[in-house]
Amino acid sequence: MKFTWFNLMPWPYLADDFRQKNRSVWVDIDSTLYDPVRGHDVYNDYLDLLEYADQVGFDGVGINEHHQNAYGMMPSPNIMAAALTRRTKNAAIVVLGNSIALYNPPVRVAEEFAMLDVMCGGRLVAGFPVGTSMDTNYCYGQIPALTREKYLEAHDLIMRAWKEDKPFAFNGRYTKLRHVNIWPKPIQNPPPIHIPGGGSVETYDFCLDNTYSYSYLSFTGYIRAKALMQGYWDRLTERNEPDESPYRAGFAQTIIVGETDQEAETMFREHVDYFYNRCLHIHPGFADAPGYRTIKTIQSGALSQYAPNMGDLSHLSWKQLLDDGYVVAGSPDTVREKLEFLAKSLHVGNLFCLMHVGNMPVDKCKHSTKLFAEKVMPKMRNLFPKYENDTRFWCQPLARRATPAPVDAALKTRIPVAGE
């Protein structure tokens, strides 16, 4: 198994009555609720936590892209990834990912991912989401019915920009470039690619066509995910693919570990409530712009996880959240047992561990993270021995990687800046 410690980077200061006074956490959220001075500490804490996850031995540290969203404060994940290249040592930097239809021109993604891969010595795992409708259509104005065509064109351009050794002309419908010739190029060419999907048939096929890993990044947990992931594996069988390696798939799960089941509840419940009650409060009118999902996908019955009847989870008790699988929480043994069931029932080798939840403070998050790393992860490592040599979906770092120079002790006396 590969374990990626994931942080959505939520704003932790939404008021108790946020749900009553605001219609959405996303797209048209009241921007005066954000305080950049507090935000300075929040970003610092979140980067500390990602670095901590590397120190305690997670395989990857994960970040993603959202816009105008109070539970996902990374409009530019590549900036966070760049910060992580310096102080993390071993973990893959999993950028899940860049919404490639939103970059103009999309060679920007080829360039920035190449920079990141070079900076971190080949530790990049790259993600290419179509992006949620909230981000892609309502915040970034892409025409819903044309989004997928633009996405596929951007994908072709990025892959060619990485692979081709001579300058080439790209005459696309959405991007026209006479001289494509990116510099630098990535160490891993191409880096392993993961595609976050929400159940569209087209995305299953896209992953299988290109040998990309399919990731379901859900907040509704492993029990509800069964039908969707099974759809992917059924498609694989239908297409008679050569193997069913669990690394062809990934899943995101909210995970909380305490010393005991009781501690997990008492220590973390308020932060889980914060996430499911305040952070997932999304105006249903932003959930699914008409034309964003294909007719085939709607007919297959895959309702958006943000659709009105799914969105309001605020009434769920702790027991329901656990019983229904939204959250995996408890002692290390409890968590391991549930996650083994998750990994086997969904057949996923890449687990994106949502270990920071809602407004969880740093010390508590470290407590849960450390217990997971020490008492859960080691026992789950070899869950899929048959596929332990499947390297297609994970990064291949350089054996010798450069180390940032230590802070020079002689420069301890800081030179004052003007005005001090």
Q: Give the binding site for other proteins (CB under 8 A).
A: 27, 137-138, 141, 143-146, 149, 283-286, 289-293, 295, 298-299, 301
Question: For residues 12 and 199, which CB has a smaller minimum distance to other proteins in the complex?
Answer: 199
Residue with tokens 């693919």: 241
Q: At closest approach, how far in Å is the CB of 105 from other proteins? A: 19
Q: At closest approach, how far in Å is the CB of 295 from other proteins? A: 6
Q: Which two tokens stand for residue 145?
A: 């019915």
Q: At closest approach, how far in Å is the CB of 289 from other proteins? A: 5
**Helix/strand/coil for 81:** helix
In a 13 Å sphere around the CA of 16, the CA atoms on its Cβ side amount to: 1
Beta bridge mates, 92: 60
Q: How far apart are CA 50 and CA 338, in angstroms?
A: 24
Question: For residues 299 and 382, which CB has a smaller minimum distance to other proteins in the complex?
Answer: 299
Q: At closest approach, how far in Å is the CB of 188 from other proteins? A: 34
Question: For residues 301 and 406, which CB has a smaller minimum distance to other proteins in the complex?
Answer: 301
Q: At closest approach, how far in Å is the CB of 143 from other proteins? A: 5
Question: For residues 131 and 190, which CB has a smaller minimum distance to other proteins in the complex?
Answer: 131
Q: How far apart are CA 57 and CA 44, in angstroms?
A: 20
Nearest to 116 by CA among 78, 88, 89: 78
Q: At closest approach, how far in Å is the CB of 224 from other proteins? A: 17
Question: For residues 15 and 146, which CB has a smaller minimum distance to other proteins in the complex?
Answer: 146
The answer to whether 395 and 118 are in contact (CB under 8 A) is no
Question: For residues 4 and 147, which CB has a smaller minimum distance to other proteins in the complex?
Answer: 147
Nearest to 324 by CA among 228, 246, 226: 226
Q: Would you put residue 9 in left (φ > 0), alpha (ψ -120 to 50) or beta?
A: left
**One-letter amino acid of 389:** N
Question: For residues 175 and 253, which CB has a smaller minimum distance to other proteins in the complex?
Answer: 175
Question: For residues 295 and 405, which CB has a smaller minimum distance to other proteins in the complex?
Answer: 295
Pairing relationship of beta strands 327-330 and 350-354 according to DSSP bridges:
unpaired
Q: How far apart are CA 25 and CA 301, in angstroms?
A: 26
Q: At closest approach, how far in Å is the CB of 291 from other proteins? A: 3
Please spell the DSSP secondary structure of 379-418, one letter per residue.
HHTTS-GGGTT--TTS----SS---PPPPPGGG-SPPPPT
Q: At closest approach, how far in Å is the CB of 141 from other proteins? A: 4
- Report the run of H or E that residue 43 belongs to, with start and end: helix 36-55
